[in-house]
Structure 1
Amino acid sequence: MDKLFAARLFAVRARPYLATALFALHVVESRHVPTMAVDRYWRCYVSPLFVRRTPVEELAGIWVHEVSHLLRDHHGRGDRIARERDLNGPRARLLMNIAADCEINDDVFGDGLPMPEDVVTPDSLGLPSGELMEDYVGRIGLGSGTWRFAWLDCGSGADGLDREWELGPDGADGLSEQQRDAVRFRVAQAVKGRPGDTPKAWKRWAEEVFHAPQPWRDLLGAAVRSAAAASGAGDDYSYGRPSRRSAGVPGVVLPSLRRQPPRVTVIVDTSGSVSDAELGGALLEVAAIARAVGGRRDLVTVMSCDAAASTVHPLCSAEGIPLMGGGGTDLRTGFTRALRTAPRPDVIVVLTDGQTPWPEQAPPCRTVVGLFSRSASGHGSWIEHDPDYEPDAPPDWARVVTIG
């Protein structure tokens, strides 16, 4: 224990913004874990043999590694991935553990914390760095390249799957949900208070913590998922698996209807009536929309539009999307541009204040409108010189969610 706690102090000196989280972990000695592991209740299970044979400096990095799983909510995200992609069982959870390690190990090691030889990194798997757990799950397969990490077990705190050796929700010294949220908030405050010397991934995480989930955000995500899962969205014919009806037409091979991941185009209203705060909120919603369709950023494109539509940008990271505009508003040009894009989107999401004319006819795809609340944005009226003006409501063929 003395060596383990000395390593924790070493970790606090190297990553002072994580001090609250590091001291919140309760240590449980366990001979069932290969190294160190955490459960979702902020207990840290430690192998005595592993502590004895590991240098203090490397133990410090593993302290930071394990607490990063909990701060990034890898257990909750692992549960969502399992539900959305039907990934269950130990093999799938190993895949999630590897993906979660790839997300955090870029930031854990270096700058005073040496990297162990057998640590999992995106480079060791031939993958790009700087992506999220959800992205890596889709890129990693349980082949010969990943079975060398079969020993890896960071506990349910890394993938959401409870282990037999964990104490569970009724065990001693676990943190309640409110206590866990308090720790995350304190760490986010510490990250935002250290400008300039904190990794970008931690800064993005802290920004998301300060924007707590709101009911309308859940509604927007549900609306996007519903549109993406609707009949016709992402459907296409494929000869990869012939239709069963081919048996009734001898000599003819009929294609079967296969569901493909839906493509989503997000049109962001950048007219002069939309505030800078609303544009910043729109970028947060773009990231949430990507998660709502299973984390496939390659299937989400973003377009800014005032009276004219700008270039369509693929979603790499929300922070890098240029939102250009500032003039009048006519989102009809955005709809036209989106529908002319090849391949055509299955779902169009519009983030706007509503001060725009709408297409007369419904587009040939599902449409979700995120409507900025005027009271939430601080605007007293729709048009400064005409307080009695009210724009036309979004058409009936669109699913409307009020934002704010």
Structure 2
Amino acid sequence: MKFEQYNISPDIKQSLAENGFRRPTDIQFKAIPSILKGEDVLAIAQTGTGKTAAFAIPMLEMLLRGKDPAPNQVRSLVMVPTRELAIQIAEAFDMIGKYTGLHIVGLYGGVEQEAQIELIEEGIDVLIATPGRMFDLVHQKKLDLRKVEILVLDEADHMLDLGFIKDIQDVKRLLPRKHQTLFFSATINKEIKDIAYSLVTNPIRIQVSPQDPVSKNVTHSVAYVEMDDKRFFLERLVREFPESKILVFVRTKVRAERVFEAMKRVGIASITMHGGKEQGDRMQVLDAFKKGEAKLLIATDVSARGIDIPNVDYVVNYDLPEVPENYVHRVGRTGRGVQKGKAVSFCSTEEKPVLEAIQQYIGKEITVMEIDAKDYDSTISLSEEIPNDNYKLLIKEFEESKEKAKRKKKKR
């Protein structure tokens, strides 16, 4: 079934066609009819399968059928865990709702609130918000949620993991008793599922590819590389694929800056994105990477959840994620939609237990890239950070010191 056959507004069909939406993905095909019926939905699907459009399309259609909002009032609310995701989802709604005339607003911290308040005063059809800024404006009586018809919790498991459960419960108390709740996520466990069911009423449960949380479009591999040697192998990957768009994940913002400096020393340009940067800087970085102006982005997990970056060729887990499910969200930045992608993980000796936990979580072993001692050494020796002659000299000195130690031992 094609989108042109759906019983939705011509305005929505036009924007879908202009942006290459011909047929619904599995999650869209299963979710859209239930949402249009006004049912609560609990949907679980892999990253990159089109979850945002799965709720945006029917929401916009339903809102077109209703009345305009009064000043400061909100007709539908999409709650998300991060500012980057709020911006991205607002862009998706703007794209799909381009010809509808509906008022769509992204609300998040890190920017001045005056301009946001002006937008709210007009009344909002779709509000995409992070909890912090939203509650600030509710408490200032600048934002009225008493007329919300539809509540969406996107990346819901992450919101609950981050401790937003109280915020979600508080929001539910502010909404009218009768409203529709849509719960979307890539992963879910029993604890989160129990919380989810406490928030919805007789939901339609939709699960796409439940046995494999990772997209089949992604090829996975792991290389056993010691912690101090990872920069040399990243350098090698970048030099072997100079035109590829590569997204590198590290654990901390300090690590991100250290890897950035390591790449800089060998003449490789990169950009970083992490929680230590101002919101404006983070969005500039993300925009540069999306447009291909920068080919190498080094980021913390702030970039892993739900961010849609087109045409990422490689995701590199420079550091393995401590939480196994974050592996799914990281590698989900590549192989999106119908595109193919590659995920490469560097695993040091101390990270092997983490790798085992990841493999257990995804239900399969990750293919090991066999690196023999000669190839391992040559990767380091060919780095521009350590001149080749100096590296060979170090090896020679090391071998000579071992021989001297042996001779001394024999003399004793």
TM-score by shorter chain over 0.5: no
Return the TM-score normalized by structure 2.
0.34
